[in-house]
Amino acid sequence: MSPPRPKPKSPSEPAGRPETLGGWLAWAETRYAEEGLALGQVAADAHDEALYLLLSTLGLPLDSDEGVLERTLTRSEQAAVEKALGRRILERVPAAYLTGEAWLGGHKFRVDPRVIIPRSYFVEIIPRLGPVRGRIADVCTGSGCLAVLLALRYPEADVDAIELSKDALEVARANVRDHGLSKRVHLHQSDVFDAVPLARYGLIVSNPPYEPTAIVDGLPEEFQREPRMALDGGADGLDVIRKLLDQAAHRLESGGRVLIEVGGLREAVDREFSELKPRWLRTADGTDCVCLIEGFRLARGSGRKGRSLPEGLERPGTASSSRPAAARGGRSGSTSAGKSPRSRRS
């Protein structure tokens, strides 16, 4: 049995309450370090996260200048920040669940424990994507953040936002409505494409659960507070990715593409899906963990024995059914440790 953890100090002891916002910030940074809080969901460091939590709790603009740190807090403001910091530090509640919001690509999204806190690499990738012909799918939409970013990036496109969790879809619905996109972003409760009406897509984007189960089991408490199904990709992390690539073959327009964020599974994806020749897109932190797969390669790979097309669909770009069926690389079954926890990108 592990030794009991010493009871953390509450904000009001031992040196008394700080009076200024800067005092609370310094106090919070110290306590974050002493308690070894996990970061990466809202900000990469304790200063940024605590400042965000304080400003947001006090209803102050997030782009306030440094002078705001001199502000003396009223008694009720002190009580509010004490409560928020207590829940973050003592109870390990992620800051975004305390504020009920998260920012991605300069846009605000509602969040609560029904959805993972948005921090996808797609925030870097979506603005760099070229023209897309036809419909777009965001598979594993969670809060709907990527479906919203895609709909804003492609104002002519309809976007299907697909999510297995009914609870998460309710959050997505609110976010889509907040952004005035209810007419173009269509929500579907579905296990990947199982229950989505037949359609062809010019682009399929997905940030699926991709952490191997054993990694999720060992994540810090803050990350365990996110929905497990948002993180856990099965024994080797590839469960949803496999299903998505199988089904995407029958869902793409000719010339369509699939983009998937895979975290630490790059090697595993290269190994298992070598026939699909995944191309890895550059990300600012050098992890380059979003792959692009061209639809015509999937169409070939999907022709392997035993697979049948959903009723009403023909394979894209494969008018000749005599095209050889290329088997995908064998499933390794090995665990490629995810670079976890997924950490923040804004």
Ligand X SMILES: C[S@@+](CC[C@H](N)C(=O)[O-])C[C@H]1O[C@@H](n2cnc3c(N)ncnc32)[C@H](O)[C@@H]1O
267 binds ligand X (CB under 6 A): no
Q: Which of residues 133-152 bind ligand X (CB under 6 A)?
A: 140-143, 145-146
CB of 239: closest distance to ligand X in angstroms? 8
CB of 20: closest distance to ligand X in angstroms? 35
Stretch that binds ligand X, among 115-123, 252-260, 302-310, 314-322 (CB under 6 A): 115-123
CB of 254: closest distance to ligand X in angstroms? 25
> Contacting ligand X (CB under 6 A), which of 95, 192, 245, 259?
192
C-beta of 188 vs 300, nearer to ligand X: 188
C-beta of 56 vs 165, nearer to ligand X: 165
C-beta of 81 vs 111, nearer to ligand X: 111
For residue 171, give every residue at least 6 positions away whose Cβ sits within 8 Å of its Cβ, in sequence order, or none: 110, 111, 112, 114, 115, 142, 143, 144
118 binds ligand X (CB under 6 A): yes
CB of 111: closest distance to ligand X in angstroms? 9
| Reduced 3-state DSSP string for the chain | CCCCCCCCCCCCCCCCCCCEHHHHHHHHHHHHHHHCCCCCCCCCCHHHHHHHHHHHHCCCCCCCCHHHHHCECCHHHHHHHHHHHHHHHCCCCCHHHHHCEEEECCEEEECCCCCCCCCCCHHHHHHHCCCCCCEEEEECCCCCHHHHHHHHHCCCCCEEEEECCHHHHHHHHHHHHHCCCCCCEEEEECCCCCCCCCCCEEEEEECCCCECHHHHHCCCHHHHCCCHHHHECCCCCCHHHHHHHHHHCCCEEEEEEEEEECHHHHHHHHHHCHHHCCEEECCCCCCCCEEEEEHHHHHHHCCCCCCCCCCCCCCCCCCCCCCCCCCCCCCCCCCCCCCCCCCCCC
Please state, in angstroms and rounded to a whole number, the distance separating the CA atoms of residues 119 and 342: 8
Size of the site for ligand X (CB under 6 A): 24
164 binds ligand X (CB under 6 A): yes
> Contacting ligand X (CB under 6 A), which of 57, 175, 207, 336?
207
CB of 188: closest distance to ligand X in angstroms? 9
Instruction: Tell me the HSE value of 271 on the side-chain side, using a 13 A CA sphere.
Output: 13
C-beta of 32 vs 201, nearer to ligand X: 201
- Helix axis angle, 166-178 to 145-153, nearest 10°: 40
* φ, ψ dihedrals at 39, nearest 5°: -115, 175
Mark residues 218-257: x for contact with ligand X by CB under 6 A, - for none: ---------x-xx---------x-----------------
Residue nearest to ligand X (CB): 142
C-beta of 58 vs 125, nearer to ligand X: 125
Stretch that binds ligand X, among 8-16, 126-134, 156-164, 246-254 (CB under 6 A): 156-164
> Contacting ligand X (CB under 6 A), which of 191, 267, 285, 314?
191
C-beta of 211 vs 253, nearer to ligand X: 211
Stretch that binds ligand X, among 7-15, 79-87, 150-158, 203-211 (CB under 6 A): 203-211
Q: Which residues bind ligand X (CB under 6 A)?
A: 115-116, 118, 120, 140-143, 145-146, 162-165, 168, 191-192, 207-209, 227, 229-230, 240
